[in-house]
Amino acid sequence: MSSEIEPHRLVEAAVRHTRLAEASADGSQELAVWLAEDPRNQAAWRRVQTPWALLGEQATAPELIRLRRAALAHVHDVGRSRWLRMWRFSLSGALAAAAGILTVTIVTL
């Protein structure tokens, strides 16, 4: 038996992990049946489960929380500056249009 796990088994394991994480009522029974069907399913489950477990353990690490906050602040600042630039451009355009209309009105009087 090869040490490689077939991709379709990994996909199936990932789908089952997601369903289980979403708290499906009978997901754990379905998972148990699937795991019992074939030892390769168990290997695929372990392969999929390990990274998620590691990520779950690190989710509340202060370093990651600090990095997430910094990333969110950066995205917020970028978005805000984009809207400010658009607003300034719109205001400038509106003022120029108003000045043009006023000039045409004065000239035609």
The verdict on 54 and 89 lying in the same domain is: no
Rg (alpha carbons) of the chain, rounded to whole number: 29
The verdict on 65 and 49 lying in the same domain is: no
Whether pLDDT at 25 is above 60: no
The verdict on 25 and 47 lying in the same domain is: yes
pTM of the predicted model as reported, rounded to 2 decimal places: 0.45
Whether pLDDT at 26 is above 70: no
The verdict on 51 and 11 lying in the same domain is: yes
The verdict on 25 and 49 lying in the same domain is: yes
The verdict on 30 and 46 lying in the same domain is: yes
- pLDDT at position 39 is 93
Q: How many structural domains does the chain have?
A: 2
Whether pLDDT at 85 is above 90: no
The parent domain of residue 37 ranges over 1-59
Better pLDDT: 2 or 102: 102
Better pLDDT: 95 or 13: 13
- pLDDT at position 52 is 78
The verdict on 26 and 66 lying in the same domain is: no
Distance CA 35, CA 17 (A): 12
The verdict on 35 and 47 lying in the same domain is: yes
Distance CA 28, CA 33 (A): 9
- pLDDT at position 1 is 44
